[in-house]
A and B are shown apart, each in its own frame.
Chain A
Amino acid sequence: MNDARHRLSGAALLREAVRGRRRAVTGGTLLLMTHQVAEALVPVVVGVVIDRAVATGETTALLWSLALLALLFVVLSNAFRIGYAIISRAGFAAEHELRVRLAQRVLDPAGGATAGSMPGELLSIATSDAKRAGAIAHVVAFGAAGIAAIAVAAVVLLRISVPLGLLVVLGLPPLLVVVNRMARPLVRRAGEQQERAAQVSGLATDLVSGLRVLRGVGAQDAAVERYRRSSRDALEATLRAARMEAAFDGAMKVFTGAFLVLVALVAGRLAAAGRISIGELIAAVGLTSFLVGPLEMLTWVGAELARARASAARIAAVLSRPAAVVDGTRAPASSRGDLRLRNVSHEALRDLTLDVRPGEFVTILAGDPDYARALLACLARDVDPQDGTIELDGTPYDAIELVQLRRTVLVAPHDAELFGATLAEAVAAPAGSATALDAALAATTADELVATLPDGLDSSMTEGGRSLSGGQRQRIALARAVLAQPAVLVLHDPTTAVDAATEARIASGLRRVREGRTTIVLTSSPALLAIGDRVIVIEGGAVAAAGSHNELLHRIDGYRDAVLA
């Protein structure tokens, strides 16, 4: 399973995306090719109308040539309408599929996908990169359509006159390539300037995000002044960029325009010499000016392809990150909640051995946050310890199916995210029995909090509970953990944001509600440490002392200093 993940490349991902919807991509591409060809033929048919009807005055010729024009427009319009919709649907579907796949990988119980990325980075991969990679459908279709249009125009021009056709076919593409090459540094510098200009927007949102902080130290005038300076810088940069872009566009227009004049001159002379007709003259001029469109489109296709590949490579990199742990196959033997750690060494942990008996309430003081971090990661099986074993009810940790394991051993993160739009959703309140819910809310004093809110548990909260205060969030998160009623509950600094009186009530509430179930609390708060059947002190990566809170206070100076401040 994992091997398949390892060798995934961006290009393969794009090929898969196209192959997965081959029929849609092919159909859409053919229709868009048709549209481009029809567009190319508009000036040709206008030439025919003038040549056969306007110049001759023949009514029948007028009727059939105008009918031809109408037919052309019907084809052109419908081919685009249907083709573009088909291709867009294919592109959106590819984008959607990549996004869902990425999300599944990130949320996979085996973990490992988030290694080394900030959430913001993954978010941008899941949104913009998925979109860019999905645009491969458009790249394929418009690329093919552009090539088709150029081919048709070339054929028509060559049929009108071989020298004229050769002039256009051999002259125009190199001209555009040369102009683009010459302009590349200009465009790049313009892009850099635009980027500098874009920073000003980031500054504005950053300052508004920190509005309260600014106000607190009376820094808003300084902030306004900083923004004003940055805005003026951005203005200069934008104006420079605009001048460069205008110069580039102007140069482009001069070159393509001059080439068009050359074609008109040659075609005009050929027509005057009687070698081509007036209609063909019009068609030649019209086709040459039309050709600029598809040629520029191919430039766009090239750039878009490069972007799609870069984005696909970023997606592939996340998809192929190795899993942090390998999923087990067995169900937990029972749910007694018997945990045994044997000689566990992982990161800061050195040879840690610890037994937690079923139903025991153990509190742990980690002398260094690194010990806590490593121990929590091992208990949650976010990682396998570098050395040593962990057993749950006699079954090795790594043999148990991950989802089952975490249902049995819940390691509630300290900075847990709240989900949902209401408090009820945030605590994951079950639909049926209210007893467990009431007990969990009461044990964590969340019931008092709920009582002060206008709609109780149905009160809404925004953005992961950021509308709540720190203490409120912490109590709701704790209530959720308790309500999950796992056989083993592991908590980490669950009461840092609540006052002493509330903390004391939470401590006794936890003790009561977890009676008979295994509970481990990592904390440095004396109120919580004191309620443990046993306090474990981790120092130097291993258990340094164990005993009751009181006993340790007397026995170990370091414990007293760490706890009683």
Chain B
Amino acid sequence: MNSLGLLPTAGAADTRRAVRELARPYRGRAAATLVVLVAGSAAGMAVPPLLGLIVDRVADGRAPAAITQPALALLVLTIVQATLTAFGTAMIARLGEPMLATLRERVVRRALSLPLEQVERAGRGDLLARVGDDVGAVADAVRNALPALASSALTIGLTVVGLAVIDWRLALAGLCAVPVQALTLRWYLRTSTPVYAAERAAGSGRAQQLLESIGGAATVRAYGLGDDHGARIAARSHDAMALALRTVRLQTRFFAQLNGAEWLGTTAILLVGFLLVRDGAVSVGEATAAALYFVRLFDPLNTLLGLFDEAQGAVAGLARLVGIVGLPEPREPDAPPLPRDASVRATGLRHAYAPGREVLCGVSIDIAAGEHVALVGVSGAGKTTLAKLITGLHQPTAGEIFIGGASIADLGPTVTRRTVGLVTQEVHVFAGPLADDLRLARPGASDDELWEALERAGAAGWARALPERLDTVVGHGGHRLDAAQAQQLALARLALADPPIAILDEAAAEAGSAGARELEASAARVLAGRTAIVVAHRLTQAASADRVLVLDQGILCEAGTHDELAGAGGRYAELWDAWDQARRVAPRKTPPGP
């Protein structure tokens, strides 16, 4: 089962195949774009010969009026070239951007349906980097590098043709520069790749340190760690600076060597031009045109060679994106059975995050439709894992889960997630208007339905007080919601998604005691009418459940009503005693005050 390892990167062949596949609908457009670009560059090619013609006419001692005609031709050519190039550039965007859009949509679609286990094992950072940085790198390449690359390559190619039209020996002279450039480029790409990688790593190390120290400034001050963290930031920043300087040195060496190639080519052309003019093979004007051709090439050449870096980065990013797209889709059954009711049954569930470290060791449960069950146990007992398995977010290593009598495996991911909802203590507020956040759970919901859900989650009060109510931008970069509000929002989403079975995993943990009670009331309203499994540290929630299941070290050790278990002297009684003792009002030791 390789599919559960790290996130894959596509090989070169797969990447090419994926790009060809993306490009297939645009083949006609690609051909038209190429024609326009070639025509534009070709028009540009006529400029040096026309300037050469002016030189020739001067050299021939023609009258000043003889200059007007080639100059007018130059003007026409300039306009034609500029217009064609502009169209060509816009056409490249029309070619590359839709492909890019399709690619990023596929990446996000696959990313959002990846098995959570795989994402967690690979680290969420990797996936975030792919949908963020890698998409960005490919987009930049499509937007900036591609047009420049196309026009530079065409100009260079056509220049060689132009030189050859004047005289093949001039073309040969110009080509003297090519081996130098090729060697320079090879050296540069080999040397720079690891340096750039190191620079990027140093940059993210610096960002990480800044985030840690500045984000944790209060903690830094409380523990008097200011000097220590200041020094750490300085060290990371210094590392990043040293590496940035190394890349600058590489770049300047690269361009210095390219200067050498420019010199070599220019000198060779002038030398050959000198000999050819002396032998009468070409005119002075033609030699001038050849030299101008070559000098005009400096910029496109440097652009082209300089872009290889960016192109390399984009290709690496592309391979990582294609790697995501190429992952197998989750299997959906053709005709999934319908769950008979909202009951949950599991037999012999086992699960291990790492081989040999089982967190669930054969758990069987049976929960009737509409029953409210509390899942109790100390930290690390396996409660959260059990919740994830029932939701279908993780796959058990052994055992089977039945929802309404049908196995999760037969139901498939789509039906399972419509049937079972999960709210954890991890809160995330999606950036954007509050209404958009809520409608993720039920896309077609009316405003009234949104308010009703907020009302049930106990969030209507503060939501009404927001500056623009449902339209208020919340989440990253918007109005900040506190932990309890974010949790109520999560409950409102659950109410909107309206699954017959709901699991709450410590959804009230971070709200302090008063806030927790309020959240419990919200949860009770949202859970009404559903089968509910509540993972609870606060045992008041257990006391009000229909049944309590106690997990201990991956084993279901007790099950029963609160009253049965609290007096049974087992694990639950122990937990309840700890909880209750703290809350019990002991008999008065002191006489009542006045």
Contact = CB atoms under 8 A, between A and B. Distances in A.
Interface string A265-283: 1001111110000100110
Interface in B560-594: 574-576, 578-579, 581-583, 585-586, 588-590, 592-593
B6 interface: no
Nearest to B571: A501
A559 B425 CA distance: 28
B579 A218 contact: no
Contacts of A380: 221-222
B436 A268 contact: no
25 contacts: A53-B274, A69-B267, A104-B226, A123-B215, A203-B431, A204-B131, A205-B128, A207-B430, A217-B441, A219-B440, A224-B109, A231-B105, A242-B94, A250-B83, A250-B87, A271-B54, A272-B61, A282-B288, A282-B292, A413-B222, A469-B384, A472-B379, A480-B223, A497-B509, A565-B540
B405 to A, nearest CB: 20
A406 B589 contact: no
Contacts of A69: 263, 266-267, 270
Nearest to B427: A213
B439 A222 contact: yes
B256 interface: yes
Contacts of B81: 253, 257
B233 A50 contact: no
B78 A213 contact: no
Contact of B245 (A92, A246, A525): A92
Contacts of A464: 212, 215-216
Contacts, number: 486
A522 to B, nearest CB: 11
A524 B512 contact: yes
B589 A84 contact: no
B522 interface: no
Interface in A374-395: 380, 382
A111 interface: yes
Interface string B187-231: 000000000000000000011101111111111111111100110
A498 B510 CA distance: 10
A170 interface: no
Interface in B496-519: 496-497, 499, 506, 509-514, 516-517
A285 interface: yes
Query: Secondary structure of the B side of the interface?
Result: helix
Interface stretch (B15-23, B112-120, B154-162): B112-120
B303 interface: no
A111 B575 CA distance: 43
Contacts of B132: 201, 204-205
Interface string A302-342: 00000000000000000000000000000000000000000
Contacts of A555: 592-593
Identify the 6 closest CB pairs spanning chains A and B, nearest first.
A250-B86, A417-B216, A257-B78, A242-B93, A218-B417, A210-B428
A178 interface: no
B301 to A, nearest CB: 14
B593 A382 contact: no
B241 A92 contact: yes
Contacts of A49: 270, 291
A407 B224 CA distance: 7
Contact of A496 (B208, B436, B509): B509
B481 interface: no
Contact of A123 (B210, B271, B379): B210
Interface stretch (A5-13, A71-79, A509-517): A71-79
Contacts of B425: 470, 497
B585 A550 contact: yes
B295 interface: yes
A226 B94 CA distance: 23
Interface stretch (A54-62, A160-168, A435-443): A54-62
Contacts of A544: none
Contacts of A243: 90, 93
A564 interface: yes
A39 B427 CA distance: 59
Contact of B578 (A53, A214, A369, A500): A500
B112 A223 contact: yes
A215 B216 contact: no
Given A76-B259, A212-B116, A219 B493 contact: yes
Contacts of B71: 261, 264-265, 268
Query: Secondary structure of the A side of the interface?
Result: helix
Interface in A92-151: 92-93, 95-96, 99-100, 103-104, 106-109, 111, 114, 119, 122-123, 126-127
A23 interface: no
Which has the most chain A C-beta neighbours within 10 Å: B86, B223, B579? B223
Interface stretch (B62-70, B363-371, B459-467): B62-70
A155 interface: no
Interface stretch (A14-22, A232-240, A354-362, A534-542): A232-240
B188 to A, nearest CB: 14
A88 B98 CA distance: 38
A448 B84 CA distance: 72
Contacts of A524: 512-514
A497 B94 CA distance: 53
B123 interface: yes
A27 interface: no
Contacts of A551: 589-590
A200 to B, nearest CB: 7
Given A96-B241, A219-B493, A111 B221 contact: yes
B230 A103 contact: yes
B55 A278 contact: yes
A406 B63 contact: no
A2 interface: no
Given A81-B256, A257-B75, A261-B71, 6 more contacts: A55-B277, A70-B267, A80-B252, A93-B241, A100-B237, A565-B516
Nearest to B383: A499
B393 interface: yes
A182 interface: no
B238 interface: yes
Contacts of B59: 55, 278
A344 B436 CA distance: 45
B253 interface: yes
B214 A119 contact: yes
Contacts of A562: 513-514
B292 A286 contact: yes
B471 to A, nearest CB: 16
A25 B335 CA distance: 73
B557 interface: no
Given A99-B237, A123-B210, A127-B207, A85 B424 contact: no
A66 B136 contact: no
Which has the most chain A C-beta neighbours within 10 Å: B51, B221, B224, B575? B221
Contacts of A103: 210, 213-214, 229-230, 233-234
A299 interface: no
A205 B131 contact: yes
Interface in A462-510: 462-464, 469-472, 480, 484, 493, 496-504, 507
A527 B252 contact: no
Nearest to A229: B105
Nearest to A89: B245
Contact of B583 (A54, A211, A270, A564): A564
Interface string A524-565: 111100100000000000000000101101110000101111
Given A224-B109, A410-B223, A282 B128 contact: no
Contact of B58 (A227, A271, A411, A462): A271
Given A496-B512, A524-B513, A107 B85 contact: no
Contact of B220 (A77, A107, A273, A527): A107
A497 B424 CA distance: 13
A504 B589 contact: no
Which has the most chain B C-beta neighbours within 10 Å: A217, A410, A502? A217
B270 A66 contact: yes
A545 B442 CA distance: 49
